[in-house]
């Protein structure tokens, strides 16, 4: 089980596309920094083919800093403590750039 972190928007980098193709059952994905923009409704199509057990998260502080609201409800909003807890729960953490 792997926690995948993304920090760039799909427009800034191909990291999200690469990450999505590498996800496996039991993995998790967290959007941080500018990647929280990917949780906007315009990008919802990107996440329709995720394996069923993959959970998506986004960092609340980053979404708030960018004034984002009405984000994809498939993503659970977490705080920094939640991010730390996820990092400890998963066997490894992979950061995509």
- What's the structural domain count of the chain? 1
Beta strands of the chain (E only): which ranges? 2-6, 28-31, 55-59, 75-78, 92-96
Report pLDDT for 81: 98
Residue 21's domain comprises 2-96
Tokens representing 37 are 């923009």
Report pLDDT for 77: 97
Residue 75 sits in a domain whose CATH number is: 3.40.1260.10
Average per-residue pLDDT for the chain:
94
Distance between CA 80 and CA 70 in Å, rounded? 20
Spans in the chain with pLDDT lower than 50: none
């Amino acid at each position: 089980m792997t926690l995948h972190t993304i920090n760039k928007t799909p427009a800034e980098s191909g990291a999200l596309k690469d990450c999505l193709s590498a996800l496996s059952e039991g993995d998790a994905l967290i959007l941080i920094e500018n990647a929280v923009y990917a949780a906007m409704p315009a990008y919802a199509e990107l996440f329709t083919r995720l394996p069923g057990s993959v959970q998506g998260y986004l960092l609340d502080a980053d979404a708030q800093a960018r004034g984002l609201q009405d984000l994809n409800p498939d993503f659970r909003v977490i705080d920094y403590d939640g991010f730390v807890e996820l990092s400890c729960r998963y066997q490894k953490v992979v950061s995509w750039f």
